[in-house]
Amino acid sequence: MSDTEKTGDRIAKVLSRAGVASRRDAERMIEAGRVAVNGKRLTSPALNVTDADTITVDGKPIAAREPVRLWRYHKPAGLVTSARDEKGRETIFDKLPADMPRVMSVGRLDLNSEGLLLLTNDGALKRRLELPSTGWVRKYRVRAKGQPSEETFAPLRQGIVVDGERFQPMAVEIDRQQGANVWLTIGLREGRNREIRRALGAVGLDVNRLLRVSYGPFQLGDLARGGVEEIRPKVLRDQLGIRREPEATPAARPPKPTGPKSRSRTLSRGAVPQKSGDRPVRGPSRPAGGKGRKPTPKR
């Protein structure tokens, strides 16, 4: 077993990188006695390991570390963004293709929200992309009941306080009024619980549809609702500085993206209106593939 402080990486980090669980869930698995190193069961995550160590979870060796991968997923409304729901509701993981490896969501979209959700097999990348310090703008198309003016959104643009919680300034643009509803484009750099709904509620607007259309450089584009596409290694390298080892042989041409044929601009109850001259940009990507494990339920 490796030195606990001087060499290697923390055991929870290694488990996360191997796609076993998020780092926090890996620590819980260790404390529950499910993890062993070189045949010795662990009770504390305060241990460093190296490639020379043999790690098992529930008696089974962990797989070799997988290359870092990232997917775009068009989350439909009505699904929970978690591995397991205590109320028994369907989760996004219930709807992913069977050949998807074990993945984690980058941030969340609440039950009634839809649109772009990034998925990854790497816990470190998940945490990195969730941090506001990335400076990435998360952009949403929002429909809300009300007839606001530009002055209505001054508190949001300055940074509003809701229930004692201060939200960072948001970029808010009125796209058009449609009867009793208004369509907005909102950009923010953080992802707090129901932030947009709560902020708009504080200025008298009731959100009845919320669609995330981009997360940093990654766009929803015309990805079909329920569809999932893997982002190409070249894009990961260019956008995130992540390098992957090239495949030994050329890969076969991948199948078309999974999911329904309907496109994001033809969602139920009418299309999301596009601004003049604003065409969705499809993120450079290819479909997911390859066998893998299903998501490990949160404990």
Q: What residues does each domain of the chain span?
A: 9-61, 70-133+217-287, 137-215
Tokens 């619980």, residue? 193
What's the pLDDT at 223? 97
- Among 9, 53, 85, 110, the one annotated catalytic: 110
Question: What CA dihedral angle connects 117, 96, 80 and 12, to 10 degrees?
Answer: -80
Gap between the Cα atoms of 256 and 251, Å rounded = 15
Half-sphere exposure in the Cβ direction for 257 (13 Å, CA): 24
Residues 110, 59 contacting (CB under 8 angstroms): no
**Confidence (pLDDT) at 258:** 56
pLDDT greater than 80 at residue 40 = yes
CATH superfamily of 137-215: Alpha-L RNA-binding motif (3.30.70.1560)
pLDDT tens, residue by residue, 95-116 = 999 999 889 999 999 999 999 9
Q: What is the pLDDT of residue 24?
A: 86
| DSSP reduced 3-state for 52 | coil
Cβ burial 281-295 (10 Å sphere, 16+ → b, else e): eebbbbbbbeebeeb
The DSSP letter of residue 131 is: S
Number of helices and strands (H, E) in the chain? 7, 18
| CA proximity to 211, closest of 74, 79, 91 | 74
The pair of three-digit structure tokens given for residue 277, joined into one six-digit string: 């001259």
User: Could you confirm whether 122 is annotated as catalytic?
Assistant: no
Mean pLDDT of the chain: 82
* Alpha helices for the chain (secondary structure H): 11-17, 23-31, 92-95, 123-130, 154-158, 195-202, 233-240
CATH 3.40.50.150, applies to 70-133+217-287: no
Please say if the pLDDT value at position 5 is more than 70.
no
The whole-angstrom separation of Cα 107 and Cα 84 is 15
Which residue, among 36, 30, 22, has the nearest Cα to 102 in the 3D structure?
A: 22
pLDDT of residue 178: 95
- Whether 137-215 and 9-61 are alike in CATH topology: the answer is no
Which pair of structure tokens corresponds to residue 221? 């584009």
CA distance 124 to 36: 22
CATH class of the domain comprising 9-61: alpha beta
Whether pLDDT at 248 is above 90: no
| Residue 243's pLDDT band (cuts 50, 70, 90) | low
Q: What is the mean pLDDT of residues 119-130?
A: 89
Cβ burial 167-206 (10 Å sphere, 16+ → b, else e): beebebeebeeeeebbbbbbebbebeebbbbbbbeebebe
